Structure 1
Amino acid sequence: MVAPTKQYLPTKDYHLPDIDLLSLIFAWANEDTVLHAEAADPTNKLTKAETRTLTKRLAHVFRNKFGIGSNGPNKDVVVCISSGQIILASLFYGVVAAGGIYSAASSAFQSGELSRQLKQGKSGLLLASIDCKDTAIKAAQECNIPMSRVLLFDTMGHMRILADVESNTNYLDSKAEMDWPRITDPEELKKSKACLLYSSGTTGPPKGVIVSHLNMVSEAMLPQFVIREYLERQEKKDPSFNFEYRTLAHLPAAHIAGLQGYLINPAIAGGPVYWMPKFDFPMFLKYCKELRITSFFTVPPIYLLIAKSPLVTDQFASMQHAISGAAPMGRELQTAAQQRMGCYISQTWGLSETTGSVTLMPWDQNDLSGSVSPVMPNTRLRIVDDHENDVVEGQEGELIVQSPVVSQGYFDNEKATKESFTADGLWFKTGDIGLVRDGMFYVVDRKKELIKYKGLQVAPAELEAHLIAHDKILDAAVIGVPAPDGSGNELPRAYVVANKDAMGEDAIKKYVKDAMASHKQLRGGVVYLEAIPKSPSGKILRRELREMAKKENRGHGAKL
């Protein structure tokens, strides 16, 4: 007899249309609505009409010059490495319109990390913002991608360039257009491969999460339904109430929060995204005030800056609501940040595999209990033990999800896909440990071993493989240790078996720094051991290392 399931339901579900992502995006907002603009110079902008035209022109270039989609959809992966640029959404749309798969790479990547992503997706076309030129060229050379298929772009400061490295041909001069195919078949929308988002694994290299049209349309529309109902409630209370959506792009667009939150959701909300090339806190404050930003999503370390910095005065006078995610935020920090900002901050929870949020707080509800909010519409949650049996309400267990935002799995990795779902294949296993109390969900730990630093994932296995590759490091294990400033960050700490005199801590840190992105650095320090604790089967006993870290209290400095 199968035990009954205890499902946690939203207060309401909504009808989602069978529509492809691009048709949805260009069905909303007025033609002259600005969708993307440069924060430093808002006159450098793209309207909805201009974005549509640019999308069609880019689709024609990608198909006819580079063969993307010429052998059918869902096959050709195009990797894009970029800092904040106003053309990013159009590049994404253009790849999808041509029948390709858009794969976003972090602008912090070293060439080895980028070449790995190119190889995993079997990509033969690389797009790079001009500041990522050297990394892109080196990675392309490592992957034998010709320079004619490395396209550099720059659209800040009123530049309009998309040129290949070999001939320097500017493809933005092309006027030919190609329309995107309309998709209305539910199965095709569900099984499509519009985008690859890389989620760090704990037993190997990062895995490419397949994100479909259905996933992105659902993640765009479901929160918008809830927000619009809030706006209607406000208008009934105050007929003069008027909300204008404006947000500030300050997080990486290679992360789900940036990709969905900057390239898709604002177009549905009907307002502009103002782009910063890189996050800079004083400029972030300046732009929030000057551009009258009304809403944004950001991560706990930035709320920590907002709560504690003397630079914060009246920069958030226009803010209606803010959202926090990527890591839990404590009651004290949330309260302090709300007081400085003068608006509610709600917490959300989700993963790349869920296309972002699966929990959502109505904007006129304030919760300071540390919860990650109630479950989102059209979504079902369960909390189960290691045998996939539901736990008693109030007890901790793994959070598992059913929703149209849940990915179909991992690119070219059937084994990982199968392992990420329950035995019946119906529920996605998030790997996060949580509980429910009074309809609110609380994430208390991670079953997976990922380290999260400033909202970015760090895979211990990736760092361990790199460390062990050094001939002076005999063995290594990496865990995350809590940042001492209460930001919620975890700092990667390496435990190594090595001769300290022959390979000191500074040398090990430099070895990692020279090969890995900034968020993967060993800010938690290096500890020398005689042996790495392991189980009989050879698995690293990270719990023992965490207990060791608690006792050590070695006072490693944290550079946030």
Structure 2
Amino acid sequence: MPRKTTYLPTKDYEIPDIDLLTLIYESRESWTTDSTVLHAEAAQPTNCITKGQARDYTKRIAYHFRNTYGIGANGPGRDVVVCISSGQVLLSTIFFGVIAAAGIYSAASSSFTHPELARQIKQGKSRLIVASPDCKDVAIKAAQECGVPLDRVLILYSMGGNRILQDVQRKGPNLIEGDNRPHEMLNWEAITDKKTLEERVICLLYSSGTTGAPKGVNLSHANIVSEALIPQYLLREYFVRQRRRDPTFKYEYRTLAHLPAAHIAGCQGYFVNPAVAGGPVFWMPKFDFAKFLEYNKKFRITFFFTVPPIYLLIAKSPLVTDQFESMHHAVTGAAPMGAELQSLAEQKIGCHISQTWGLSESTGSVTGMPWDEHDNGTGSVSPLLPNTRMRIVDDNEVDVEEGMEGEFILQGPMITKGYWDNEKATRESFTKDGLWFKTGDVGLVRDGRFYVVDRKKELIKYKGLQVAPAELEALLLSHELILDAAVIGVSDPDGSGNELPRAYVVADRSKISADQIKDFVRKNLAQHKQLRGGVVYLDAIPKSPSGKILRRELREMVKRETSGQGAKL
């Protein structure tokens, strides 16, 4: 029988059996008091909420979700609430309010078109939608397509000092007013049963599949709590080591919300982790580089996680001077970052940048570098985090020898148990024995650190966002003038690490031009899914005898085109 090699972290922690809301609002594990400011608007920092206020908003929102809209009325883990919003001060209280009402928070990208949002509403069978003002029109169109009444489309206004949650027609009451109505609050269910914590779904994050529509990743209390506590336990041990070395050492957690809140970096990184770490999140509605620099300096940001394209801006921009003087540690993820870019960005920021690796299905990071250790330019995605187990296997799920490439497969309390209402996808994403999650990422281990070298799945990553070739291909094939199509990602020549979607089409270019094809995609899909890699006309799409697209042949074509033209920073 083939030998199994399981890679282990240097240690494990005992994770308490506690639900997410109790962790955030009631537990000593959270390094905050009721007066700690958790969320503030970067453009208007007096618009902020403390933990005590956040708890009250959460209970008030939960009360109305339960009593006005029936969320959780028929039992927990059934009713899905879709939220499409740009960054907002009260967005976390919508997240926690849904969970407190015993519902499931379904995060939708604020860049979605209405067909994309409608698909997510239908997948979750949702009958309640929350949107930010800038997403209102998309939410209305999607609701109408799905038959959701407009009095069940709620708009959250919490920037500029506003405190309004009201139906889109402004006919109903403001659901977050109520300082004089303390009876209009709902306490969440405190859970200590381990099995319930592991199995009760409280959040859906959508992961683009290589075939078919995106899948809702089921995240439980145990998933999110473990992902909040494990990195914090490591960090607190680092603080102890630092104070031994330097008794005057002090650290105050402050971060800047600049990435989309609908992804794991937002839900985990902005709603949950800062409240455990003990410091505020300063919210930007959307990413703006000039303001990003301004806010890092103004609020003396000490930590952030961001993606390689933003590090590229930092590395190359003459605007970067002293904005990162307070930065203590920075992390990169969502896509590989080369050693050259990492070195240039570190020089600009003035601190080390460590790479992490994970996915929505692992509730974020499963590797991480202790703050007083460094990669030294090897390009690794760091060692395994505590409580995580990894094997590296071939296509037959047989472990490869150390140093050889294979697919990363995982176990741990942060690993999803599957996909929402999709038994087939769940079954296919685990090993034959059902015990290990197959990540689809190919890599190797060397000296205890892990290196990602390729993706078994065909996902394209643009600015940390996933683009499924199958989704683009399905749209292209819906056009009557396009006979066949295939999509791959091509490397952005700017060295950012982005992949740009490129379409290969079988079509008569005298009847439909490349610009017309790009316009067709622009009208139907979100910004990050656009054909920035161009349109190439072919006589035929290369396919296997069984009809599968041979993407490797398309990639070989790209290699031949770019041979000898390596991108430089």
TM normalised by structure 1 equals 0.98
3-state SS in 2 of match to 1:372? coil
1:479 aligned residue: 488
1:542 aligned residue: 551
Shift of 1:530: 0.8
3-state SS in 2 of match to 1:194? strand
> Which of 412, 418, 422 does residue 427 from structure 2 map onto?
418
The 1:99/1:330 distance shift into structure 2, 3 A limit, reads same
Whole-angstrom CA distance in 2 between matches of 1:555 and 1:258: 39
Shift of 1:172: 1.4
Deviations 1:479-532 (A, max 9, x none): 000000111100000000111011100000000000100000000000001111
Whole-angstrom CA distance in 1 between matches of 2:337 and 2:89: 30
Shift of 1:101: 0.2
Whole-angstrom CA distance in 2 between matches of 1:547 and 1:464: 20
Match status 1:170 vs 2:174: yes
2:137 aligned residue: 134
Which letter maps to 2:11? K
Query: Which residues in structure 2 correspond to 1:85-484 (within 5 Å)?
Result: 85-166=88-169, 167-174=171-178, 175=181, 176-367=184-375, 368-484=377-493
Shift of 1:4: 2.7
1:65 aligned residue: 68
Which letter maps to 1:51? A
Shift of 1:555: 13
Q: Which structure 1 residue ranges, 5 or more long, are not aligned?
A: none
Which letter maps to 2:97? G
Match status 1:522 vs 2:531: yes
3-state SS in 1 of match to 2:44? coil
3-state SS in 1 of match to 2:380? coil
Shift of 1:238: 1.0
Shift of 1:327: 0.6
Shift of 1:124: 0.5
TM normalised by structure 2 equals 0.97
3-state SS in 1 of match to 2:5? coil
Report percent identity of matched pairs: 68
The 1:156/1:555 distance shift into structure 2, 3 A limit, reads farther
Whole-angstrom CA distance in 2 between matches of 1:31 and 1:87: 16
Deviations 1:384-439 (A, max 9, x none): 11111111100000000011000000000001001100111111000000000111
1:74 aligned residue: 77
Deviations 1:70-103 (A, max 9, x none): 0000100000000000111100000000000000
Whole-angstrom CA distance in 1 between matches of 2:534 and 2:369: 37
3-state SS in 2 of match to 1:173? coil
Which letter maps to 1:473? I
3-state SS in 1 of match to 2:176? helix
Deviations 1:165-220 (A, max 9, x none): 23153111243100000111110001011000000011100000000000000000
Whole-angstrom CA distance in 1 between matches of 2:533 and 2:340: 24
Whole-angstrom CA distance in 2 between matches of 1:173 and 1:370: 50
Shift of 1:553: 4.0
2:519 aligned residue: 510
Whole-angstrom CA distance in 1 between matches of 2:562 and 2:357: 30
1:494 aligned residue: 503
Deviations 1:444-481 (A, max 9, x none): 00000000000000000000000000001111100000
Whole-angstrom CA distance in 2 between matches of 1:220 and 1:5: 30
Which letter maps to 1:523? R
Whole-angstrom CA distance in 2 between matches of 1:547 and 1:5: 34
1:35 aligned residue: 38
Shift of 1:274: 0.3
Whole-angstrom CA distance in 2 between matches of 1:406 and 1:482: 30
Shift of 1:554: 11
Structure 1 runs (4+) deviating above 6 angstroms are none
Whole-angstrom CA distance in 1 between matches of 2:391 and 2:48: 44
Whole-angstrom CA distance in 2 between matches of 1:3 and 1:191: 32
Whole-angstrom CA distance in 2 between matches of 1:30 and 1:165: 35
Whole-angstrom CA distance in 2 between matches of 1:258 and 1:491: 23
3-state SS in 2 of match to 1:296? strand
Whole-angstrom CA distance in 2 between matches of 1:193 and 1:536: 41
3-state SS in 1 of match to 2:166? strand
Whole-angstrom CA distance in 2 between matches of 1:293 and 1:138: 38
1:7 aligned residue: 6
Deviations 1:238-279 (A, max 9, x none): 111110000000000101111100000000001000000000
Between 172-181 and 208-217, report the one with greater CA deviation: 172-181
1:45 aligned residue: 48
2:16 aligned residue: 17
Whole-angstrom CA distance in 2 between matches of 1:168 and 1:180: 24
Which letter maps to 1:379? T
3-state SS in 2 of match to 1:30? coil
Whole-angstrom CA distance in 2 between matches of 1:499 and 1:353: 41
Deviations 1:298-349 (A, max 9, x none): 0000000111100000000000000000011111111111111111100000
Shift of 1:552: 2.9
Q: Which structure 2 residue ranges, 5 or more long, are not aligned?
A: none
Whole-angstrom CA distance in 2 between matches of 1:420 and 1:263: 27
Which letter maps to 1:39? A
3-state SS in 1 of match to 2:160? helix
Which letter maps to 2:538? L
Whole-angstrom CA distance in 1 between matches of 2:513 and 2:208: 28
3-state SS in 2 of match to 1:5? coil
Whole-angstrom CA distance in 2 between matches of 1:434 and 1:552: 26
Whole-angstrom CA distance in 2 between matches of 1:3 and 1:188: 35
3-state SS in 1 of match to 2:148? coil
Whole-angstrom CA distance in 1 between matches of 2:259 and 2:292: 11
Which letter maps to 2:177? D
Shift of 1:3: 2.4
Deviations 1:119-151 (A, max 9, x none): 000000000001111100000000010000000
